[in-house]
């Protein structure tokens, strides 16, 4: 198509270009990549290849952008958006030096199934807290990581998603909870070994002594899940079983509430020194706001030798991987930002991905 330098030619070109696009394929790819639908606002960008002046008028760029935006509004009802960050979709236009025009709709996806929107089929603990607990645990390749009271498995699912090279094991005394956890693991395509077991009994966990590298769990607070008898006695019983299966160089990360953290810390300290004099210590303690009314306390527990025991219970403060802020309020928001910064880089969504999605849905 021959072009002059006026906007009427830009209007003709915009109408021709938008009519040449297979929009149904674009829409199918957009939805297959789990993007929001329907679209409401569109931003158009345009760039020129070097030496394209001989094919396209020098002042065609701005009129063509405007006319394309108007064509898309007429064709699909998308409102033109000046700011790219505020648009639902971006149309990229390239004027080539051979006279061709390339129209691109960039679609980016996560190549790992991270469940980023928090949409587990059987939700339990919120992802932000689960991520912070798992990050404090620092699972390494080949390590055995146990949640002895896993419930719906949200904590294990988050850890297995972010640190997939460890071997994860979940135990719970409620079969319905284990069924819910298995549904969550299947949804995220992560492998977790599960057992029906009761950690409150001596040798209640189907694991050998010193067979686990790390433990993470949120013991009951005697609220949503009530315990029989005294809560402090309950914590001492489960801590005895945790210590039995944990290796001497292992680590535990426990989630308590501010009301129950004292009892849980007492249970951690209720041990006997080993032959080298090592004792279990709370090496890090972090308070954070779960809700406006509920304060959570994250405890990191390790076995320490006497010369390493400056204090058996650390002062409340930020964790080693956090920013320096000691603020209680806003901690979850800061964790959420750190989690977002750690996400894998988005990757382009290609036509072969659409074909795979269509094949899977059949």
Nearest-CA neighbor of 17 among 51, 57, 46? 46
**Which tens digits make up the pLDDT trace of 154-204?**
999 999 999 999 999 999 999 999 999 999 999 888 999 999 999 999 999
Find residue 296's DSSP bridge partners. 257, 288
**Residue 334 neighbours by CB under 8 Å, 6+ apart:** 322, 323, 325
**Residue 359 neighbours by CB under 8 Å, 6+ apart:** none
Rounded distance, CA 262 to CA 85, Å?
Answer: 47
Rounded distance, CA 352 to CA 350, Å?
Answer: 5
Contact, 128 vs 101, CB < 8 A? no
Residue with tokens 């094949």: 359
Rounded distance, CA 201 to CA 209, Å?
Answer: 14
> In the predicted model, is pLDDT for residue 94 greater than 60?
yes
Dump strand ranges (E) for the chain. 41-48, 79-80, 89-95, 101-104, 108-109, 144-147, 167-172, 193-196, 212-217, 246-257, 279-289, 295-304, 347-348
Give the per-residue pLDDT at 36.
Answer: 75
| Residue 203 in tokens | 């040798």
**Residue 349 neighbours by CB under 8 Å, 6+ apart:** 29, 32, 33, 107, 108, 109
**Which tens digits make up the pLDDT trace of 268-292?**
999 887 777 889 999 999 999 988 8
The sign of the dihedral angle between the CA atoms of 114, 117, 120, 124 is positive
Helices (H), ranges, 289-330: none
Give the per-residue pLDDT at 225.
Answer: 64
Give the per-residue pLDDT at 246.
Answer: 96
Residue 56 CB-density burial (10 A; 0-12 exposed, 13-18 middle, 19+ buried): buried
**Residue 265 neighbours by CB under 8 Å, 6+ apart:** 282, 299, 313
Give the per-residue pLDDT at 199.
Answer: 96
Rounded distance, CA 188 to CA 113, Å?
Answer: 6
pTM here is: 0.70
Residue with tokens 């009519």: 19
**3-state class of 197 per DSSP?**
coil
**Residue 23 neighbours by CB under 8 Å, 6+ apart:** 75, 76
Supply the DSSP symbol for 153.
-
> In the predicted model, is pLDDT for residue 86 greater than 90?
no
CA distances from 302 to 87, 215, 299, 350 (A): 49, 11, 10, 47
Span of 113-122, 133-142, 269-278, 328-337 with lowest mean pLDDT: 113-122
Task: Report the run of H or E that residue 242 belongs to, with start and end.
Answer: helix 231-245
Contact, 215 vs 146, CB < 8 A? yes
Contact, 8 vs 16, CB < 8 A? no
Give the per-residue pLDDT at 55.
Answer: 81
């Amino acid at each position: 198509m021959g072009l002059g330098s006026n906007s009427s030619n830009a209007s003709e070109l915009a109408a021709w270009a938008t009519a040449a696009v297979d929009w149904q394929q674009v829409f199918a790819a957009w939805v297959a990549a789990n993007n929001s639908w329907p679209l409401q606002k569109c931003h158009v960008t345009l760039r020129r290849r070097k030496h394209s002046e001989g094919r396209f008028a020098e002042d065609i760029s701005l009129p063509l952008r405007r006319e394309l935006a108007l064509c898309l509004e007429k064709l699909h009802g998308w409102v033109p958006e000046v700011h790219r960050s505020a648009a639902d979709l971006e149309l990229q236009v390239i004027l080539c030096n051979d006279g061709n025009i390339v129209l691109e709709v960039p679609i980016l996806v996560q190549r790992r199934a991270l469940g980023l929107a928090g949409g587990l089929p059987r939700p339990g603990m919120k992802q932000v807290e689960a991520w912070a607990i798992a990050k404090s645990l620092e699972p390494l390749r080949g390590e055995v990581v146990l949640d002895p009271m896993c419930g719906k498995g949200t904590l294990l699912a988050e850890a297995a998603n972010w640190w997939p090279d460890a071997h994860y094991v979940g135990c719970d005394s409620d079969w319905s909870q284990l069924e819910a956890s298995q549904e969550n693991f299947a949804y995220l395509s992560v492998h977790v070994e599960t057992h029906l077991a009761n950690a409150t009994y001596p040798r209640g966990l189907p694991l050998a002594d010193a067979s686990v590298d790390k433990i993470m769990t949120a013991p009951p607070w005697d609220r949503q899940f009530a315990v029989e008898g005294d809560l402090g006695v309950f914590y001492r019983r489960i801590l005895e079983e945790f210590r039995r299966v944990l290796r001497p160089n292992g680590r535990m990360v426990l989630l308590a509430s501010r009301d129950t953290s004292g009892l849980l810390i007492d249970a951690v300290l209720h041990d006997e020194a080993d032959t080298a004099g090592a004792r279990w210590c709370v090496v890090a303690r972090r308070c954070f706001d779960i809700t406006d009314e509920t304060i959570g306390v994250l405890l990191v527990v390790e076995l320490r030798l006497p010369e390493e025991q400056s204090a058996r219970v650390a002062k409340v403060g930020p964790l080693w991987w956090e920013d320096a802020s000691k603020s209680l309020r806003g901690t979850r928001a800061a964790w959420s930002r750190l989690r977002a910064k750690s996400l894998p880089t988005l990757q382009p969504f290609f036509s072969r991905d659409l074909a795979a999605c269509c094949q899977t849905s059949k």
